[in-house]
């Protein structure tokens, strides 16, 4: 009986520790995730959930010794561990590299074009289909993390869709922006919480030149 009580206590203690670890991780890195979402278009919930999943909330060896929170392969100069994973000078650079990786690979282009910054389910499934992870359950684990810790709250959810946190029922008409004097694609993307790449692809633009009065789909 005593052994059973001890086992139950350890299970409860471990679960509480994991919860605390996750909460601390979210508090520490949520602002970086939101900033990257606003600049590049990847949902903050996805950035955080993938980082939490891949780095065990920042406790994995490559996270602790290499500042690598996404399991990105590459060179490192660490003398503490031997690893095929990339090393970073800071965790923030690891976050940026993950988002840049998605932007650089053509198989992820449609995610930036097709899905808004709150459709975390479609992003998770799309990233898995693009070959980011070999595990067939990777996307479902990332989605479960978003739901468990309510990471969707950090996404850019339109006011009329705040009640649809699961996003599958959210439908938003494509907004149109009319170019004004002094506008650039970078400024428009920043104000509209999207990316230059997404705007160019949605509007079939071959260059960055804009004309006053020109209408752009966002």
Q: What is the pLDDT of residues 22-43, one digit of tens each?
A: 999 999 999 999 999 988 889 9
Distance CA 78, CA 56 (A): 20
Distance CA 212, CA 47 (A): 35
The predicted pLDDT at position 168 comes to 45
DSSP-based three-state secondary structure for 78: coil
Q: What is the mean pLDDT of residues 82-91?
A: 96
> Do residues 27 and 20 lie in contact, with contact meaning Cβ atoms separated by under 8 Å?
no
Distance CA 104, CA 40 (A): 12
- 54-73 CB burial, b ≥16 within 10 A, e <16: bbbbbebebbebbbbbbbbe
Span of 41-50, 57-66, 104-113 with lowest mean pLDDT: 104-113
Tokens at 149, concatenated: 């810790």
Q: Which of 195, 54, 31, 40 is CA-nearest to residue 128?
A: 54
The predicted pLDDT at position 160 comes to 57
Distance CA 177, CA 183 (A): 11
């Amino acid at each position: 009986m005593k052994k059973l009580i001890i086992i139950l206590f350890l299970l409860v203690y471990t679960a509480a520790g994991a919860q605390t670890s996750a909460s601390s991780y979210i508090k520490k890195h949520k602002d970086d995730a939101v900033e990257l979402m606003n600049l590049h278009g990847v949902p903050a919930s996805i950035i955080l959930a993938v980082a939490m999943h891949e780095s065990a909330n920042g406790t994995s060896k490559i996270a602790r010794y290499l500042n690598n929170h996404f399991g990105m392969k590459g060179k490192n100069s660490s003398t503490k561990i031997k690893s095929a994973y990339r090393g970073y000078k800071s965790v923030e650079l690891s976050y940026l590299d993950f988002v840049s990786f998605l932007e650089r690979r053509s198989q992820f282009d449609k995610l930036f074009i097709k899905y808004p910054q709150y459709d975390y389910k479609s992003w998770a499934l799309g990233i898995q289909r693009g070959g980011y992870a070999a595990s067939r359950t990777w996307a479902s684990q990332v989605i479960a993390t978003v739901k468990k810790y309510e990471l969707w709250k950090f996404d850019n959810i339109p006011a009329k869709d705040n009640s649809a946190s699961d996003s599958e029922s959210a439908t938003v008409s494509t907004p149109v922006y009319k170019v004004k004097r002094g506008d650039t694609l970078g400024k428009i993307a920043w104000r509209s919480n999207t990316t230059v790449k997404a705007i160019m692809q949605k509007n079939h633009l071959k260059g960055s030149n804009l004309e006053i009065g020109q209408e752009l789909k966002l």
